[in-house]
Amino acid sequence: MKFTIERLALIKMIEEVPVKLPDQRRREVYLKLWACDARVFVMDVKRLKKLKKPDFWAVHEALVLEDGECIVPGRVLLRILKFQTGLRNCTIEVDENGLRLGTFLLTVKGYSPTTSPPAEFHVFPVTDLAVVGSRAQPL
C-alpha cells in the first residue's frame, strides 16, 4: 500500500475516530487503515469487530499509488504525524515489514495488498487537462 495525503487531514481523521468510549478506560486504539479508490479510510478496529459492518469511518481523498489495508497502533501513528511539522503532505508506504513515514518504521498487523472500500463511491476520471496542469502547445 502506498499513498500520499495531506498530513493535517490524516491527523484530523485519526482524531475523529473514537479514542475512548464512555464505559472504558484509556486504551491503545488500533486503527484499520485502508487505501483504495483514490481515498484513505480510518476506523477503530475494536468498533469494527463489534459491528461486523462499518458504520463510522473517517475518509479523505488521497493520491493512492498502491491499494492495501493494515492495522496500526493509533496513538503511535498520531504522535509520528504530529512530530512531522515541516511536512504539508506525507507519503506512507506499507508492506509486510511495516509502515514507513519518512525515517520512521512502525510495525503493522494484518497487512493485505488487496482491499475494497467500506462503501460505494463514484470516482470520475479527469477530462479537462487544464485541471491537471497539462497545457498542450500548438505546433
136 lies in some domain: no
Per-residue pLDDT of the chain (139 residues; tens, 9 = 90+): 999 999 999 999 888 876 544 455 556 778 899 998 888 998 887 766 665 555 567 888 899 999 999 999 988 899 999 998 888 999 999 999 999 998 899 999 989 998 877 766 555 555 555 545 545 444 4
Q: How many domains does the chain have?
A: 1
CATH number of the domain enclosing 51: 3.10.150.10
**pLDDT score for 52:** 58
State the DSSP H helix or E strand holding residue 76, giving kind and residue range, or none if neither.
helix 74-83
Torsion of CA 33, 35, 36, 39, to 10 degrees: 100
CA nearest to 116, candidates 45, 32, 56, 51: 32
- What is the distance between the alpha carbons of residues 34 and 114, in angstroms, rounded to a whole number? 9
Is there a contact between 84 and 90 (Cβ–Cβ < 8 Å)? yes
Residue 53: give the domain boundaries.
2-112
How far apart (Å, rounded) are the C-alpha atoms in residues 28 and 127?
A: 44
Would 130 be classed as within a structural domain? no
